[in-house]
Amino acid sequence: MPRIIIDTDPGVDDAIAILMALAAPSVEVAGLTVVGGNVPHARGLRNALALLDFVGRSDVPVLRGSNRPLKGRFASAQHFHGTSGITRRLPEPTTRPLPQSSVDFLAAQLARFPGEITLVAIGPLTNLARLERQYPGSLAKAASLAIMGGSVDSPGNITPHAEFNFYCDPLAAHEVMNAGVPLTLVDLAACRQVFLSRDEALRLRSRRPMGKLALEIVQNWFRADRGRESMLFYDQIALAAALCPKVLTTRQVQLAVQIDGDEAGASQTAAAGGPIALAKEVDVEQLMALMGDWLGWERE
């Protein structure tokens, strides 16, 4: 049974990815490590705890992570995710994060279960970069590592050059991309292949608790702005690729990440044949089928 740890800045698409992991058959979610990004770190932490509580999974540990990038401050994406970050009011969580830090938790889990942990990073890469700085060689102990981030050789979404997660902490992105660790990178070019239209989203229903909550988050996101015609999928693709690698094809590359200046967070292919499996084609039909299956999404 895959043991998965999700490093996240919840976030609408983060929340859906977390619910997918909880709903996927035979997957043990071993922890959520939180990082600032989409929303301030304290809010992200609250969202992670509230989400788990709401679906009856407060047994999953939640860990405090970085509230600042390696340098400077995080950007915010509340214009996209809403002030709360998850578009759905949830009761105050009854649980607290574990006292350990994300970095110590990740290092301990990876050391205890070498080759067994599927690590999925769907926020700025600060926690992972700090992990490698404090406990070198930790990332190499993961069974696999899937990351949502970057807009390789293509336009960004937060600046003309950079994708949000890489932009939030370009130095961390640079360090993780150059750690020499095999990883799958789902960048914006891959994410731009998958979207859910407003009409389709508003017609979906689910009878399962996780699927229902995921749908409410999606549908409220559309209702928050009448101009929103479609929702791109980001973190959901990285999560699906981690659990079911056949949902996309990849090519091996080495990447260069701009760490400062006007193009901070931009990423380019530096050479072919590196340790990074960069997503190429997403099998949209298979991805949607997986999501529908795990979350019990059905057309009305």
Question: Is residue 187 a contact residue for ligand BDR (CB under 6 A)?
Answer: no
- Report the residue number, 144 or 165, with the smaller CB distance to ligand BDR: 165
Tell me the chain's radius of gyration from C-alpha atoms: 17
User: According to CB under 6 A, which residues from 196 to 255 bind ligand BDR?
Assistant: 234-235
**59 exposed, middle or buried (CB, 10 Å; 0-12, 13-18, 19+)?**
exposed
User: According to CB under 5 A, which residues from 2 to 21 bind Ca ion?
Assistant: 9, 11, 14
Q: Which one of ligand BDR, Ca ion, none interacts with residue 163, CB within 5 to 8 A by kind? A: ligand BDR
Q: Are 169 and 67 in contact (CB under 8 A)?
A: no
User: According to CB under 6 A, which residues from 111 to 150 bind ligand BDR?
Assistant: 122-123, 148
Q: φ and ψ at 289, to 5 degrees?
A: -65, -40
Q: With CB under 6 A as the contact rule, which of the stretches 21-29, 131-139, 163-171, 288-296 interacts with ligand BDR?
A: 163-171
- Cα 149 from Cα 185, distance rounded (Å): 7
User: According to CB under 6 A, which residues from 62 to 101 bind ligand BDR?
Assistant: 77
Q: How many residues bind Ca ion (CB under 5 A)?
A: 6
**Contact pattern from residue 64 through residue 103 relative to Ca ion, giving x for each residue in contact according to CB under 5 A and a dash for the rest:** ----------------------------------------
Question: Is residue 297 a contact residue for ligand BDR (CB under 6 A)?
Answer: no
Q: Which one of ligand BDR, Ca ion, none interacts with residue 55, CB within 5 to 8 A by kind? A: none
Please pick, from the candidates 19, 23, 32, 38, the single residue that binds ligand BDR as defined by CB under 6 A. 38
Q: Among candidates 234, 284, 273, which has minimal Cα distance to 250? A: 273
Q: Within 13 Å, how many C-alpha atoms sit on residue 273's CB side?
A: 0
**Token duo for residue 258:** 């701009």
User: According to CB under 5 A, which residues from 108 to 137 bind Ca ion?
Assistant: 122-123
Q: φ and ψ at 271, to 5 degrees?
A: -165, 160
Residues 6+ apart with CB under 8 A from 130: 66, 70, 103, 172
Residues that bind ligand BDR (CB under 6 A): 11, 13-14, 38, 77, 122-123, 148, 157, 163-165, 234-235
